[in-house]
Structure 1
Amino acid sequence: MAPQSHLIPSRGAKRAHYDKEMIHSILDEALFCTISYVFENKPFSIPTAFVRRENKLYIHGSVGSHFIWELEKGVPVCISVMLVDALVVAKSAFSHSVNYRSVVLFSQGEKIEDPALKWNMLEWLTNKIVPNSWDYLRPMKENEVRKTTVLAFDIDEVSAKARTGMPNDEEEDKPLPVWSGIIPIETSRRDPVPDELSRNIPLPEHLMPGSK
């Protein structure tokens, strides 16, 4: 994929990637993105859940949401995602860094009118947030779907950046008796905690620790 000029980073250009497989893997692992746009000459950035299917990114929101109203007009947006894998601890604060994987996407929203695709997207997103939960839950009602807007964004003008490995200390700092290395960061799902109405309901298999 040939990068657009505005996708070429001004710093850390060697960390940029345009490989679809890498971009998709980051989007599939991340649960949330931040969508930035301009409304009445003011900048807005809204975090929201999303799901990817093929070459589109999907979000949903209330039909009464001003955020959704604006995006369904097709205004230009910048969508960003970042996964942190480790803190990089160098021998100097200046050389500290982060091991990460990120995606920046420029696109425009398209309102999904097809009922079947709308239902599918809600199922995809639900199962991404809580894997294998869609068929277990009380089915969505038609009026709930009508109250929900689904937007799609093409994944075309997109790039990824990533950093891996140990600190890049300055040569004069390497002999210093200062500890350096990485501190791995992991995001994990802990054991489910029931509310008052579910204390006597067996934990379903898809919520069992370690299941996915």
Structure 2
Amino acid sequence: MDRVHSVSGELPTSEKSRVRRGAKRASYRREEIYPLIDELKLGHVGFSENGEAIIIPLTVWRLGCFLYFHVANKSRLQKLIEAGGQVCISFARYDEWVLSKSAFHHSANYRSAVLFCRGERVCGQEEFDAVFKAIINDIEPDRWEQVRAPNLQERKGTALIRLTIEEGAFKSRTGGPSENKEDLTLPVWSGIKPAL
């Protein structure tokens, strides 16, 4: 694949993607967003169809600065992308529950990203194979070399989509509970509990 893009620096932002609530927890740095995508590989892809909001969970993976997913050929999502439509993809993971002495101050330590993207269908067989090889070998090293490559019918039935991230944001929380001074003497445990 001959596409080389920087995997560092900040994503562009606008009023649509800038975090307003809890802005101190926000980042626009690719170095924080990309590891979350690489770890999860599950994105919730949102788009609008006939004025209705639709969200579909899909396997989404990253190569360089591009995101990829695949759908059935001639699907509504493929048609939207090929017509120049924008999608919004969210990634989120709860790492820990944060238990406070107050019900109001319970929280979670988390990492999340919301990305606005446009894309195109990957049509060349060389890139098609390279992109699928990357995700399959990421799941299990060298697996692509052991399995049968997609046949002609499978290639015709699959639309592989390459997305460019136009803008987005990362948001996270770490640390222990926030406690009101008057609650500190309450006889109840507070602290961090791993999320399952």
Structure 1-normalised TM-score? Answer: 0.81
2:4 aligned residue? none
The 5-angstrom pairing of residues 46-195 of structure 1 reads: 46-185=56-195
Give me the whole-angstrom Cα distance separating, in 1, the residues matched to 2:174 and 2:104. 18
* Cα RMSD (Å): 1.7
1:22 matched to 2:25: no
Structure 1 stretches of at least 4 aligned residues deviating more than 6 Å after TM superposition: none
Point out where structure 2 has 5 or more consecutive residues left out of the alignment.
Answer: 1-9
Point out where structure 1 has 5 or more consecutive residues left out of the alignment.
Answer: 187-212
Q: Percent identity?
A: 35
Q: Is the 8 A contact 2:118 2:166 kept in 1?
A: no
Q: Is the 8 A contact 1:31 1:128 kept in 2?
A: no
Q: Provide closer, same or farther for how the CA distance between residues 65 and 3 of structure 1 changes in structure 2, counting only shifts above 3 A.
A: closer
Q: Which has the higher contact order (CA 8 A, sep 6+)?
A: 2
Q: Is the 8 A contact 2:81 2:119 kept in 1?
A: yes
Q: Is the 8 A contact 1:16 1:162 kept in 2?
A: yes
2:51 aligned residue? 41
Q: Is the 8 A contact 1:31 1:129 kept in 2?
A: no
Q: Provide closer, same or farther for how the CA distance between residues 24 and 149 of structure 1 changes in structure 2, counting only shifts above 3 A.
A: same
Give me the whole-angstrom Cα distance separating, in 2, the residues matched to 1:129 and 1:94. 40
Q: Provide closer, same or farther for how the CA distance between residues 166 and 132 of structure 1 changes in structure 2, counting only shifts above 3 A.
A: farther
Query: Offset at 1:100?
Result: 0.7
**How many equivalent residue pairs?**
186
Give me the whole-angstrom Cα distance separating, in 2, the residues matched to 1:161 and 1:65. 31
Q: Provide closer, same or farther for how the CA distance between residues 83 and 132 of structure 1 changes in structure 2, counting only shifts above 3 A.
A: farther
Q: Is the 8 A contact 1:50 1:125 kept in 2?
A: no
Query: Offset at 1:129?
Result: 4.0
**Larger displacement relative to structure 2 (19-28 or 4-13):** 4-13
